[in-house]
A and B are shown apart, each in its own frame.
Chain A
C-alpha cells in the first residue's frame, strides 16, 4: 500500500501542488520563472480575450454534451428495448470503438471530412459538381469529433438505469390513461436522470479540457482551454499563466462534479421519500 501511495504523492500530488504554486509567480523576462508573489496570472484568466476562450470552450463542450446525450439516450433506450439476449451484444459493440486509440478515432474524421474525403466523394457521386464543402477545421467538426469519441460512455451510463426500469411502471402509467409521451416525460425520464447526468458530466468535463480534438479537427483555429494551456507551456513559454489556466480548468471541473453529486444526493433523497410514501 505504502509504495503506491508514495508514488501517487510524489508524481501527482507534489507536481499538482507545484503547478498551483507556479500560478502565483511571475513570468521571467526570458520566459523563466521569477519568484515573486503575484495574482496577475489569475487576473489574466478573466481578461476578455481569455475569458472568451473559456466561454467558447464551455459552449463547444456544452453543445457536444447535449448532442451526445440525445443520441446516447436514444441508443440506450433502443438497446434496453431490444430482446434480452441481444442487449449485452449491442452494448458490447456500442462500447468497442471507445477502446481504440483516441487519436485514431479523431483522425478517422479527418479522412471523412477533408476536402477530398468520403463525404465530398459521396456528394460528387450524387452529381454534385461545385466546390468541395469545407467541413474540416470548423466548430462543427470539433463538436462531431467530441460527440463521436464520448458517445459510447453516454450509452453505457444511460443504459444502466434504463435496464433496471420496472416495465410495470410504464404499463401502470398507460393503464391510468397517460399517453406514451406523458409516460416517458413523467415516469421514465425522471427515473433515468442519474444516468443522463453521469454521462453528461463525463462528456462535458472531458470535452472542456480537450486538446487533441480542437488541434486536429479545428486545425488550431478553434482554441479551447486545453490548447491555451499547451501553448503557454510549449510555445509561449509563460508557465505561470499556463498554470493559472490549468487551475481554472480544474476549478470548473470540480464545480461540475460537485453540482452533479449534490443533485444526485437530492434525487436519491426524493426517491427514498417517494418509496417511504408508497410503503406507508
Chain B
C-alpha cells in the first residue's frame, strides 16, 4: 500500500509499536525480574538464577508440577483418541446435525466457572472422592472438543474416495485407517494433542473445583493462584517464566504442524 502518505505510514507504525509495547512489557518485566538477584522491581541487583534454584527445592511446587504433568498427559491421550475418532465419525458420515454441532462446540464456549460448578455438583452427588482423576475426567471434556475441531479442519479437504478404494482393494478397516487416513491427518492429530496438553497445563478454574480437598491433587495453576494471593514473591516470577516458556513452545510447535490446515 505504497500510496499512503508518509504521515499516515508513520502513524500506523506508531500504533503497531504502542500495541506491541502494551502486549509485551508486562511479560518482559516478569521475565526480567525472575533473573534479578534482589527479586524486587525496586532495583536491579545483578543477574542470578537463584529463584530458579529455590523453585527446585520447593517440594510443594514440584509436587504440583508432577500433578499437572499427570493430568495433562492422561487427559491429552484420552482426548486425542476420542476427539480424533469423533472428528472422523462426523466428517465421514457427513451428518451435520445442529444438535451434534452444538454438543461438540459447547465445551469450547461454556464459561469455565459454569462447567466447574456443574462438575463439582455432579461428582459430589455421586459421592465420588475427588482428586487428580476427577480433574482428568473434566479436562477431557474440553480437550476432546478442541482436538476434534483441529482434526475436522484437516478432514474437510480429505478425499474419502481413497478410503473406499483401499477397502475395494481388500484392506481391512484397521489397515485402511493406519495406512490411508492416519498419515493424512497425523499432523492435525499431533497439533490437536499439543493444544490439548497446553490447555490442560494452563487450566485453573475447573481443576480448582474438581480437585477435592487437600494438597495431594494441587496442580501448578492452583499453586500459582495460591502464591499470587499471598503476594508477590520472586519465585512466582521464575515459575511463571518456566510455565510461559513451556506453553509458548508447545503451541508454536502445534501451530507449525497445523499450518497446512490453516492455509487451506
Interface of A is mostly: helix
How does the 8 Å CB contact mask read for A243-258 relative to B, with 1 for contact and 0 for none? 1001001100100010
Residues of B within 8 Å of A246, CB to CB, are: 113-114, 117-118
**Max chain B C-beta neighbours (<10 A), residue from A99, A105, A209:** A99
Instruction: Please list 10 pairs of residues, one from A and one from B, whose beta carbons are closer than 8 Å in the complex, sorted by A's number.
Output: A1-B86, A11-B122, A71-B19, A102-B204, A108-B27, A111-B33, A148-B23, A205-B111, A209-B114, A211-B112
Q: How far is the CB of B231 from chain A (nearest CB, A)?
A: 9
How does the 8 Å CB contact mask read for A14-47 relative to B, with 1 for contact and 0 for none? 1110110010000000000000000000000000
Residues of A within 8 Å of B53, CB to CB, are: none
Count chain B residues whose beta carbon lies closer than 8 angstroms to a beta carbon of A.
77
Provide the bound-state CA to CA distance between A121 and B119, in Å.
44
B30: contacting residue among A108, A249, A257, CB under 8 A: A108
In the complex, the 9 A-B pairs of residues with the closest C-beta atoms, listed nearest first = A1-B89, A209-B111, A15-B118, A108-B26, A4-B86, A15-B122, A4-B82, A75-B19, A100-B244
Residues of A within 8 Å of B224, CB to CB, are: 101, 103-104, 107
B interface vs A, CB < 8 Å? 1, 3-4, 9, 12-13, 15-16, 19-20, 22-27, 29-30, 33, 40-42, 82-83, 85-86, 88-90, 100, 103-104, 106-107, 109-115, 117-122, 125, 137-138, 140-141, 144-145, 148, 198, 201-202, 204-205, 209, 221, 224-225, 228-229, 232, 236-237, 240, 243-244, 247-248, 251-252, 255
CB contact list, A61-102 vs B, under 8 A: 71, 74-75, 77-79, 81-82, 90, 92-94, 96-97, 99-102
Interface of B is mostly: helix
A interface vs B, CB < 8 Å? 1-5, 7-9, 11-16, 18-19, 22, 71, 74-75, 77-79, 81-82, 90, 92-94, 96-97, 99-105, 107-112, 114, 116-118, 121, 148, 151-152, 155, 167, 171, 205-206, 209, 211-212, 216, 226, 229-230, 233-234, 239, 242-243, 246, 249-250, 253, 257
